[in-house]
Structure formats: C-alpha cells, structure tokens
Amino acid sequence: MKLEVLVDRYIQNARIALNEVEGRMPKKKTCNKKVFKVLESASRYLEDAQFYQTKRNFKTALTSVAYCEGLLDALRILGLVTFQWSPVRE
C-alpha cells in the first residue's frame, strides 16, 4: 500500500475515533481535566497530520497520526475512554 493511501486511511480512522470519544465526553467542567488535556493533545497531533498530508510530507503525517493514536490507545487501555478502531483495509 502506498504511503499516501496509508496516511489518508489512518487519518480518517483517527478522526472517527477522536470524534467518537469527544462525543461521549461530559462537558469540560465535569470532565477529568487530565483526560481532556490528553484529548486536546491527540486532536492537535491529528491536525498536524492533516497539515503535513496537505504538504505531501507523508512520513511526518504518519508520525503525527501515530502519536494521536498512541494517546487515544493509552486512554482506552486505562479505561478512561471507550471506542473501537476501524480496520484499515487495502
């Protein structure tokens, strides 16, 4: 699979997962501030990935989306958020 296609699919899946998590979160005032801060970081990494994708810098885009996924996975493993990854298909 071409790197360009892989980046696009990972960005789409990260966006879906982040939207799913954010849609289930209580309002900022009642949410665990640390969880909210990690979600903000994940969102920024996703934005970075999209930026580098538009610049056709696919290696950096993939690295950025991987950081986003790592933060989301860490929150999920700790039981602080729930979501499921969509499978990346060729």
Instruction: Specify the pLDDT at position 57.
Output: 97
Q: Is 89 a residue whose pLDDT tops 70?
A: no
Place of tokens 């920024």: 44
Secondary element (H or E) of residue 7? helix 3-24
- Higher-scoring residue by pLDDT: 88, 38: 38
Domains and CATH numbers, the chain: 3-77 (1.20.1270.90)
pTM of the model: 0.88
The CA distances from residue 82 to 31, 37, 42, 72, in Å, are 14, 16, 15, 9
How does pLDDT run across 21-41, given as a tens digit for each residue? 988 776 655 568 888 899 999
For residues 39 and 85, the answer to whether their CB atoms sit within 8 Å is: no
